[in-house]
Structure 1
């Protein structure tokens, strides 16, 4: 159960970048990736200034979108590089910052796809542009259209900046080529998962549990965990087996992370998570939580709370039904199983001491009762 999950899920994201044990080589601690990210954002701002005031506004929206969050993806890049005894700290910091910009791009685009105007408790790119248009006298539909356009374009800018940062990270050309291959694979996989997510929502009940789990692995696990770990390994000149096994561990960690995020999407506290607790139900997201519930007797009652906006009282009842039918416990057990399997892989690779502290600090935190904090 969430209240008894291991330490993976019971720590805040603190002290992420620090020297870590390496396997037989001196530690070369990488610079903090936030410094590299600020440089990338400053570079983008300079290009925007050269283009004009409207572009400055759009890039400022990207900058705001990149602010906040737990930064665990760049932390994993640096931790993998340092733990494996890598000797390219500057390049590791640059690539780590690129991964955070990649995440920013996906977040901006995801909100456009889901029709959400709020992220981390504040207006996102689309919401900001839409609200400003309404304040300027635009009709609601026209304002929403402007918001969507701004979100698409801002996400594109963040994505282009991320790829450019990898290409210019300063690593040898053959290493850069391998890094770009990993980025390209992650982009294709994430796009596939995102599209499957929307497609499954169009036809509730057609996706089985394996379809749902595969969609979540493609949408989140690869770019959030497998990609950062493998990027760090490549920068550290790790062998192919180690790099591949880190990808396996990353997929498991990402699956656990996304499954917990699914619980946050229903049982979380928006004041703590910054995300809606009715959005997944409203958009009929075919998460493992809902797919499992759809095969239980309680679904006859629960289905009435899916596909529409809910009042606070209705959300309480939907939560009760998801708990009573065993779907919440089912997802919690899957989280624990995947975390245990990932830990075993990292221990076999003899990198657990260097990587697990970062994972412990970065996977969302569980809270007592029916609410889950991020």
Structure 2
């Protein structure tokens, strides 16, 4: 890295952080408006508000990274274009691709950072944020007190069905327990019971009228409930389905595989999984577009750059949101919905980048 590269990358990083601070502040302000109302209503204390904002930082960072990269690219390169530095470098034989090399490397690293946050951190912090909101604002117990039609995976090879579950009484009604093969291709054993009751200390269940059904002959044989070992907490039994945004990508992948094997709908989970990948890569694409548009000096300076950032960035968000909604209805394939905006904007970026070489 020579002095020119250092000059470019230092200015680019400064512009990037300026852009990130601007959009980060906007998103943070939007969250703060809700928090102010909750504090005034007595639902949140000040330390709860700061905790809530802290839990929301990963989501804000991932949402603002493409906009920060786009605005940073525009500010940095347009400033150099205004001072005729871009023209001077091109005249001296330095290509625009060489000028843009280190900003593009930096934006790729930002994309990888966003992907890592989406992969491992976003779901965990979103879940904490949602849990805090439910407890303080909505006064909800994260686990429901009663529930009809319970169908839950207890462990890797056990599925529980119950017509009704009560946390207060610690009971299940109309129980079926399925033991399945590891690959979920067949049911190995099926147990039925009219009801069940939990020992809250040991989390062990005792069942009434417990029987094992022979799947070949369809004949049921009574079983002594004392010898039948079934352990599961009421929280596991009654836990509500987790939203896709509150799961890490490994958890999303695990649920997608499980839902697919048992024939449940995993469409929203798959959309969220692939969208996190495509959205992370959008930072690199926005860098390509920002550098290209900023390479020619335009009157208006920062105001024009901010306007372009808002228009281009939110156009990407808008197209992505529309296609996700269409994919949810099943009208278009998931891969197309998640990656088409990325591919389209990348093609636009490549075209603009080629034009900037001359």
User: Quick check: which has more Rg, 1 or 2?
Assistant: 2
Between the two structures, name the one with larger relative contact order (CA 8 Å, sep ≥ 6): 1
TM-score (norm 1): 0.29
TM-score (norm 2): 0.30
| Structure (1/2) with the larger strand percentage | 2
